[in-house]
């Protein structure tokens, strides 16, 4: 009795395996018969209207399940089409398209020409006012070109940004590095009377009045001397107009009376 049960179970398993194998073979055979060919075009602009069936060049069946195509943002889109034959057998086909924005990104500099001194600090990215795209937002700026902050000269730096659509924008900066100006050493004329070398402008005794015309206030030797003499001529007292020195450098004229 047990042997009959075993034989029945064995035959049932064999029949199920055979049926499954036939079904899979049939499915594979039917799927192999289904074909779908896409058009070659795969690049479209933002917000362009694309009819899903317009991307199909040829197919072996008219029953096509197609996706909804969103072109509102740039980037790569993967579209899955499902072709169904008369027996209900389905087969998937993949179409990849690229949505791009034809509008170039914005690359704007604060200055297109800049002059600095040798030894000054300089960061090219500090000169970027705007680097952005309508869809990608803020973009990374690449700066090309060489410059030497230790050597005077003219340099051209190129700023470049690229959006996700592969469109680039550029701007150029004309950078001038010049030698630091030397502070002029003021020397008095040879015919200027000298009262002596002192470390700081003297403050006369309370009983003596004075007035000083300093070079740092915009006077030079001639204008300071003229101002001193003209003021002295209005006084009906004894006076002196002398050059005042600080650390052996003439810094102005002083009227003492």
Phi, psi of 63 (to 5 degrees): -90, 100
**23 Cβ neighbours under 8 A, 6+ residues apart:** none
pLDDT value at 14 more than 70: no
**Pairing state between β 113-117 and 63-65:** unpaired
DSSP 91-119: EEEEEEEEEE--SPPEEEES-SEEEEETT
Please determine whether the domains at 38-100 and 106-178 fall in the same fold group of CATH. yes
Distance CA 48, CA 51 (A): 10
Arithmetic mean of pLDDT, 78-99 = 94
Report how far apart, in Å, the C-alpha atoms of 63 and of each of 26, 55, 78, 81, 181 are. 20, 15, 20, 11, 82
Q: 21 or 88, which is more confident?
A: 88
Report how far apart, in Å, the C-alpha atoms of 168 and of each of 45, 48, 125, 132, 160 are. 16, 21, 17, 11, 7
189 alpha carbon, distance to own chain's centre: 55
* In contact, 95 and 38? CB cutoff 8 Å: yes
Report how far apart, in Å, the C-alpha atoms of 183 and of each of 121, 180, 200 are. 21, 9, 20
Q: Where are the domains of the chain?
A: 38-100, 106-178, 189-257
Q: Torsion over CA of 126, 132, 136 and 141, rounded to 10 degrees?
A: -40
Q: 253 or 3, which is more confident?
A: 253
**Per residue in 65-84, pLDDT tens?**
999 999 999 999 999 999 99
Top-level CATH class of 106-178? mainly beta
139: how many CB neighbours lie within 10 A of its CB?
A: 19
**Per residue in 163-216, pLDDT tens?**
999 999 999 999 999 998 776 666 666 555 544 443 445 555 555 777 888 888
CATH number 2.60.40.10 is the correct assignment for the domain at 38-100:
yes
Task: State which of 26-35, 152-161, 200-209, 210-219 shows the largest mean pLDDT.
Answer: 152-161
Report which secondary-structure segment, H or E, holds 236.
none
Question: What SS3 class is residue 12?
Answer: helix
% pLDDT > 90, the chain? 53
pLDDT the model gives residue 196: 44
Question: What SS3 class is residue 28?
Answer: helix
**Per residue in 126-135, pLDDT tens?**
999 999 999 9
Is the pTM higher than 0.85?
no
DSSP state of 253: E
Q: Which tokens sit at 35?
A: 């074909």
Phi, psi of 28 (to 5 degrees): -65, -40
228: how many CB neighbours lie within 10 A of its CB?
A: 24
Distance CA 110, CA 159 (A): 12
């Amino acid at each position: 009795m047990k042997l009959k049960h075993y034989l029945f179970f064995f035959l049932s398993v064999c029949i199920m395996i055979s049926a499954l194998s036939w079904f899979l073979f049939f499915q594979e055979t039917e799927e192999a018969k289904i074909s779908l060919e896409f058009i070659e075009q795969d690049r479209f602009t933002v917000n362009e209207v694309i009819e899903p069936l317009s991307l199909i060049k040829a197919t072996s069946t008219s029953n096509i399940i197609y996706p909804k195509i969103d072109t509102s943002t740039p980037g790569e889109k993967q579209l899955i089409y499902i072709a169904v034959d008369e027996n209900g057998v389905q087969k998937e086909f993949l179409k990849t398209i690229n949505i791009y924005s034809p509008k170039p990104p914005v690359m704007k500099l604060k200055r297109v020409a800049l002059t600095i001194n040798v030894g000054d600090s300089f960061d090219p990215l500090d000169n970027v006012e705007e680097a952005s795209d309508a869809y990608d937002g803020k973009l990374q700026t690449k700066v090309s070109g060489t410059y030497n902050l230790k050597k005077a000269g003219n340099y051209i730096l190129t700023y470049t940004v690229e959006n996700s659509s592969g469109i680039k924008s550029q701007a150029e900066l004309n950078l001038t590095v010049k030698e630091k100006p030397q502070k002029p050493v003021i020397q008095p004329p040879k015919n200027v009377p000298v009262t002596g070398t002192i470390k700081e402008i003297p403050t006369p005794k309370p009983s003596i009045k004075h007035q000083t015309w300093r070079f740092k206030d915009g006077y030079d030797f001639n204008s300071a001397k003229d101002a001193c003499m003209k003021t002295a001529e209005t006084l009906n007292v004894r006076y002196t107009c002398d050059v005042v020195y600080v650390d052996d450098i003439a810094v102005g004229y002083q009227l003492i009376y």
